Structure 1
Amino acid sequence: MRTARAALLTGPNTTRIENIPLPEIGVDDALLRVEACGLCGSDIEQITTGGRMPLPVIPGHEPLGIIEQIGPRAAERWGVTTGDRVVVEVVVPCRECRHCRDGLFTYCDRSIGAYGYRPFDAPSTLIGGWSEYMYLHPNSVVHKMDATIPVAIAATYNSLAAGIRWAVQLGGVKQGDTVVVLGAGQRGIAAVIAARAAGADRIFITGLARDSHKLAIAQAFGAEAAILADEEDVPGRVRELTDESLADVVLDITPMAAQPVRDALEIVRGGGTIVLAGLKHGHAIELVTDTLIQKGVTMVGARGVEGSSIEAAIRLIESGEYPLELLTTHTFSLDDAVSAVAVLAGDVPGETAINVAIVP
């Protein structure tokens, strides 16, 4: 019997490697040979706390890989065949509710589950990206990608999709705009890339002094200036850099911090747009709503990525127009998955991470 090595999360910062039998594939499902699985901030929370779902579970919600085996109806429905590279959306949707009909699968009212997060009824427990193989449910949403793209670069698709979703699709960044990105993580840098691709005229990014390596990469992708939020007055610096004209679009991609939200209201121009994408994990933030009203600001909440932004990210990757290798700082094996999360979190001295991926 063929098996796949998988890393199971059994508790906070604790995994064990198991060999799990590969499932039988029918007419409607498929088996993916996982090439890589990207990591993001939600992986840090899941791994360090043990997650909110019953354990053990195979984590990993940004998988990409090669179709190893596929049923004929699945092949027709997804438009892929054996040997194709695909990326897999995290949510397994019902495909029937109002959100699914609109293609907004992350908002599915009756989702079946989520790869790497919420286990669902399946013929195998191989339903997370931290494995050599992953079972693909018939309701899965997949997107084809050029298999010649280097694996580490291909694994940046989710962070790039977030940048595109937040900056362009929700923020409406367009030709000639001035954009301020608050937060210099991989998705902040991705937002810089997306804004530049959309034709933004001026892009500024904020970060902390310890983020100097990330800020340098953001500037390599087109950010005009970097502002150190722990050393400089962010609104004052933006006013200076823009000659008081402020920003058309402001993106807050910082986790936990409240000040960037308040800064966003100060630095957005009248009639501009603020996109809030950084989770504060329940922390209340006081806002002067009169400023929001008097400026006529549009404030938008951003939740994850959608299929259209993933498609746009894949096209951007395949274009070869951007030096995306600058994002790909670390890859780790299944055996070192917990270490990978620690590196992404910045908890390992001497390691400066941007995009981190598990390569089984």
Structure 2
Amino acid sequence: MESVSNEQATVPATMRAAVYRGVNDVRVETIPVPQIGPGEVLVKIHTCGICGTDLKKIHTGSHSAPRVFGHEMAGTIAAVGEGVQGFAVGDRVMAYHHIPCGECFYCRKHTFAQCETYKKVGCTAGFEPAGGGFAEYIRVMDWIVRRGLVKIPEEVSFEQAAFIEPTNTCYKAIDMLKLQQDDTVLVIGQGPIGILLAALAHRTGATVLTSDLYPERHDVAAKFGLNKPLNARQDIVAETKDATAGRGADVALLAVGGNALIQVAMDAIRPGGRVMLFAATQHGKAPFDPAAVCMDEKTLMGSYSASVAIQDEVSKLVLEGPRKGFDLTQLISHRFSLEDAVAAIELASHPQPDSMKIVIQPGL
């Protein structure tokens, strides 16, 4: 295979990648390894999780083709560009794919996901930047290197580190809620994100009720100390009120994308309670009782994507997690090679009772 080199490393000229070619059309192909410029690094991917937002883009055609998706990623620096400071070839890292400018109106208001720079993806395997983690190598652009590249200690696995970005998104939502120890929180949905939300809520000292259709998922949740499962096939509003002296939960977190469940969540909280939408990432209409917001003083709120303000806290939490009872690799149910990426995406798109976080590992 022909190789190209920069001043610090030699890397292949081509690589394998799962390329999005159109709606529901992903193909494993050979493409060029992306070239890096000044201030940038090239990362060889070890692990990349499949996120629900990746699936939404693949299935709805919301983004132009071709692209390489995947953003929950960790790997090893294979090359560094001129002027890069603090990182070297061989460093184990994870990369955020969004980092805000830090100066605009939205950054000053700490609404980082609305910053125009944040909306620009800063990692790519080639083509239009889209994360690129479903490939052997990614190019990490300069503003991400400066503020969104995190070193992984030798004793921490790439799999654990790949959870830093999704943990940040969940931590952000929990942080916004400012939970109290006497709060009761209902988390609707116990996929990997639902369990992450519930586990982080549990760490605040709040009482956490978890709702899901599948006992297999409650079994995984129990590994994180979540021991108050509700059967989603039953009346979870009634069950929540039974658990709260008839009042309803202080907070309901909606971790599945179903607009009909917004009303369920609103019904399950007490007067003055809050509903946090976490998975409602597609536009549509969702009727709910406006009098519940006005007269019952219930609050409907949302949280989207990660926050640069909590990066250090989240990195510490995840990287210290395995030795402090927060081993997120327990959420991984399936590991696929890059050659089997299409099968991985298919399973993630049609989750089964025993499927949780699905990861792609090019080295398999």
SS at match of 1:45: helix
C-alpha separation in 1, matches of 2:263 and 2:36: 53
> Are positions 1:341 and 2:345 aligned together?
yes
* Equivalences for residues 185-334 of structure 1 within 5 A: 185-200=191-206, 202-208=207-213, 211-229=214-232, 231-258=233-260, 260-279=261-280, 281-319=282-320, 320=322, 321=324, 322-334=326-338
Query: 1 CA distance for matches of 2:299 and 2:268?
Result: 13
SS of the residue 1:48 aligns to: helix
The yes-or-no answer on 1:174 pairing with 2:175 is no
Deviations 1:261-319, CA, capped at 9 Å, x for gaps:
11222222233322111216333121111112223233211112222444433222222
In structure 1, how many angstroms separate the alpha carbons of the residues matched to 2:215 and 2:204? 25
Which residue type is aligned with residue 204 of structure 1?
L
CA distance in 1, matches of 2:118, 2:168: 21
- The CA deviation at 1:13 is 3.3
* Aligned residue number for residue 23 of structure 1: 35
2: CA distance, partners of 1:63 / 1:165: 19
CA drift at 1:180? 0.6
Residue 222 of structure 1 aligns with an amino acid whose one-letter code is G
Alpha-carbon distance in structure 1 between the residues aligned to 2:83 and 2:237:
55
Shift of 1:56: 1.6
Distance 2:283 2:179 in 1: 28
Confirm or deny: 8 A CA contact 1:252 1:276 kept in the other structure. Answer: yes
Aligned length: 344
**Offset at residue 117 of structure 1 (A):** 8.7
Assess if the C-alpha contact under 8 Å between 1:127 and 1:136 holds in 2: no
| Length-normalised TM-score, structure 2 | 0.84
TM-score by length of 1: 0.85
Matches within 5 A, 1:78-227: 79-91=86-98, 93=100, 96-100=103-107, 104-110=111-117, 113-114=120-121, 128-140=132-144, 141-166=148-173, 168-200=174-206, 202-208=207-213, 211-227=214-230
Alpha-carbon separation, structure 2, partners of 1:55 and 1:9: 6
Q: Using the alignment, how far apart are the partners of 2:335 and 2:244 within structure 1?
A: 39
Alpha-carbon distance in structure 2 between the residues aligned to 1:92 and 1:164: 17
Sort the Cα spacing of 1:93 and 1:190 in 2 relative to 1 into closer, same or farther, 3 A.
same
Over the matched positions of the two proteins, sequence identity in percent amounts to 25
Runs of 4+ off more than 6 Å: 116-121
1:110 Cα deviation (Å)? Answer: 4.6
Amino acid at match of 1:145: I
Contact 1:275 1:302 in 2 (8 A): yes
**Residue 328 to residue 19, structure 1, CA distance change in 2 (3 Å):** same
Q: Would the aligned equivalents of 1:184 and 1:207 in 2 still touch at CA under 8 Å?
A: yes
Q: How far does the alpha carbon of each residue in 1:175-200 deviate from its partner, in whole angstroms, 9 at most, with x for none? A: 33211101111111001110122222
CA distances 1:92-136 after superposition (whole Å, capped 9, x unpaired):
655553334566543222557325799877xxx896111111111
Secondary structure (helix, strand or coil) at the match of 2:116 reads coil
Paired with 1:6 and 1:118, the residues of 2 have a C-alpha distance of 8
Partners of 1:309 and 1:111 lie apart in 2 by 15
8 Å CA contact 1:275, 1:299 repeated in 2: yes
CA distance in structure 1 between the aligned counterparts of 2:271 and 2:36, rounded to whole angstroms: 58
Structure 2: gaps (5+ residues)? 4-11
What is the CA deviation profile of residues 39-73 of structure 1, one whole-angstrom value per residue up to 9, with x for unaligned ones?
11122222334x33332211112222222222353
**For the residues of structure 1 that align with 2:124 and 2:77, how far apart are their CA atoms?**
22
Asked whether the 8 Å contact 2:124–2:140 carries over to 1, the reply is: no
Flag the 1:179–1:118 CA change in 2: closer, same or farther, 3 A: farther
- 1:269 and 1:144, CA in 2 relative to 1: closer, same or farther beyond 3 A? farther
1:42 aligns with 2:42: no
Instruction: Tell whether the 8 Å contact from 1:126 to 1:135 is kept in structure 2 after alignment.
Output: no
Tell whether the 8 Å contact from 2:18 to 2:342 is kept in structure 1 after alignment: no
- Is the 2:208–2:228 Cα contact (8 Å) retained in structure 1? yes
In structure 1, runs of 5+ residues without a counterpart are: none
Distance across 2 between alignment mates of 1:214 and 1:116: 32
| 2:208–2:226 CA contact under 8 A, matched in 1 | yes
Structure 2: how far apart are the matches of 1:266 and 1:145?
A: 43
- Aligned-pair Cα RMSD in Å: 2.7
8 Å contact kept, 1:329–1:355: yes
